[in-house]
Amino acid sequence: MSDNTQVTQRDESAVSTAENGNAAREQERRVAVTPPVDIVEDSKAVTLWADLPGVSKDRLDIRVHDGSLTIEGESAVPAASNVRLSHAEVRAPFFARRFTISDDFDTSKIEANLKDGVLKLVIPRRERAQPRRIEVNAG
């Protein structure tokens, strides 16, 4: 494992964009951290756990549109007002991850729970997509 820290010049275009009040363009330029996920699938649903440290419920956005599930969140990194920050590896990271959802799943019934920085999503299968056993008649 390599632990190389690279110090780079500040992107002045991003600073001037933010100073001009164009927050939408600044958001587009922001680098997103891809949260690690664990996904478990069974015959009834898919359960997804995403690590989102420091993200609160009010700074979390989960959307489903056109077969795509998007998770976005911003963590709050508290700092005391009397402390001068001399180095920060990550400042208020922005998390983003997108998944393609099959038509086999009922996106209108997704359950979401955020606890201790871990988001749990349960995406149930549509009833017609659940496996069923076919009885065979002899005779």
**Per-domain residue ranges for the chain?**
32-79+88-129
Give the Cβ contact number of residue 7 at 10 Å. 5
More confident residue, 130 or 26: 130
Contact 31, 74 (CB under 8 A): no
Task: State the pLDDT at residue 34.
Answer: 93
Residues 89-122 pLDDT 10s: 766 689 999 999 999 999 999 999 999 999 999 9
One-letter amino acid of 7: V
User: Cβ atoms within 10 A of the Cβ of 58, count?
Assistant: 9
Q: How many CA atoms lie within 13 A of 86 on its CB side?
A: 0
Could you read off the pLDDT of 31-86 as tens digits, one per residue?
789 999 999 999 899 999 999 998 999 999 999 999 999 999 998 767 778 888 77
**For the domain 32-79+88-129, what is the CATH code?**
2.60.40.790
Percentage of residues of the chain with pLDDT beyond 70: 72
pTM: 0.67
